[in-house]
Amino acid sequence: MVRKHLITRLRNLTRPASHLHSHCPNFLQTRRHFSDAPPPPASALPPPPPASNVHSKSSLNQTELNKFASIADTWWDAEGPFKPLHVMNPTRLAFIRSTLCRHFRKDPHCTRPFEGLKFVDVGCGGGILSEPLARMGATVTGIDAVEKNIKIAHLHAELDPITSSIDYCCTTAEKLVEEQRKFDAVIALEVIEHVAEPAEFCKSLSALTDSGGAILISTINRSMRAYATAIIMAEYVLHWLPKGTHEWSSFLTPEELVLILQRSSVSVQEMAGFVYNPLTGRWSLSDDIGVNFIAYGTKNNE
């Protein structure tokens, strides 16, 4: 049901941008289905650069990286600043399992459905997503721009023979592109709102994806509700996250993410929201993409 709604919305969204602009003058208004924030000016998205531009700009935003470096030793403290990611993990893994099993025609009920597939976890932090992916059989490369994160991730993964196979490296997506690395699935959860150039970052993620491969990105919608819940509530009232973790202006709306990915040769096939139930303390998948959301896309044939 959730999936049906979103797939119908996505059919409209994933038509070429030029088509939307020329035949659907109300496009910016229809965005309000997804976001209650005022629409950005039409110039908010830069025009696509020429195809010959092979050198991506750096995705590094040193202010953001400093924030993560300062709390790196708390990655595996389930009650620490990364508690929200730990609590969200089963829900986001459910989405990843279901979309990638369909994508790669794997049995979602088997214990190691991703056996034989190469995944890269971009902005892996301490490895809280990389580890379960490895347990599900994937050959995982985890990369992060913060050296301390990679050290923690490596030390933790060493505790278990299955996760000790994860290849952790302190680097960036654009550097892996320069090394001509390719993966079956490229996953970047809760990273894009912390990078310097989201559109360039998506181009790098796309370049890392093998033809026929898949991309998964999760982030926070630039909506008023996200400002109220993901920033005011989470940082200033409930103290789930350190104050200043997120900049509202760095969030992308689902529509912007779809367009940026489209310009990077990635077609978004499905989106889902993550919603928090304060009574159970659990997250679940929803068609409400007004705050936290995840997108699954496929690399177009070039």
- Tell me if residue 32 falls in helix, strand or coil: helix
| Burial class of 256 by CB neighbour count within 10 A (0 to 12, 13 to 18, 19+) | buried
Sheet of 183-189: strand order equals 167-170, 139-144, 118-122, 183-189, 209-220, 292-299, 266-277, 282-286
Candidate segments 122-130, 246-254, 260-268, 272-280, binder of ligand SAM by CB under 6 A: 122-130
123 forms part of the interface with ligand SAM (CB under 6 A): yes
Judged by beta carbon distances under 5 to 8 A according to partner kind, the member of Mg ion, ligand SAM, none in contact with residue 128 is ligand SAM
Q: Is 193 annotated as a binding residue?
A: yes
Residue 85 binds: one of ligand SAM, Mg ion, none (C-beta under 5 to 8 A by kind)? ligand SAM
Q: Is 220 in the site for ligand SAM (CB under 6 A)?
A: no
Site string for ligand SAM, 157-196 (x = CB under 6 A): ---------------x----------------xxx--xx-
**Min CB(218)–ligand SAM separation in Å:** 7
Residue 60 binds: one of ligand SAM, Mg ion, none (C-beta under 5 to 8 A by kind): ligand SAM
| Strand, coil or helix: 39 | coil
Contacts for 147 with CB less than 8 Å, ≥ 6 apart:
170
271 binds, among ligand SAM, Mg ion, none (CB under 5 to 8 A by kind): none
44 to 63: interface string for ligand SAM, x by CB under 6 A: ---------------xx---
Q: To which residue do tokens 């379960």 refer? A: 132
CA 291 to chain centroid:
14
Residue 155's SS3 state is helix
Nearest-angstrom CA–CA distance, 80 and 258: 32
Residue 182: phi and psi, rounded to 5, are -135, 145
Nearer to ligand SAM, 28 or 285 (CB): 285
The CB-of-195 to ligand SAM minimum distance in angstroms stands at 4
Site string for Mg ion, 183-212 (x = CB under 5 A): -------x----------------------
Q: Is 194 annotated as contributing to ligand binding? A: yes
Out of 144, 184, 200, 270, the only residue in the binding site for ligand SAM (CB under 6 A) is: 144
- Distance, CA of 261 to CA of 267 (rounded, Å): 7
Q: Which residues bind Mg ion (CB under 5 A)?
A: 190
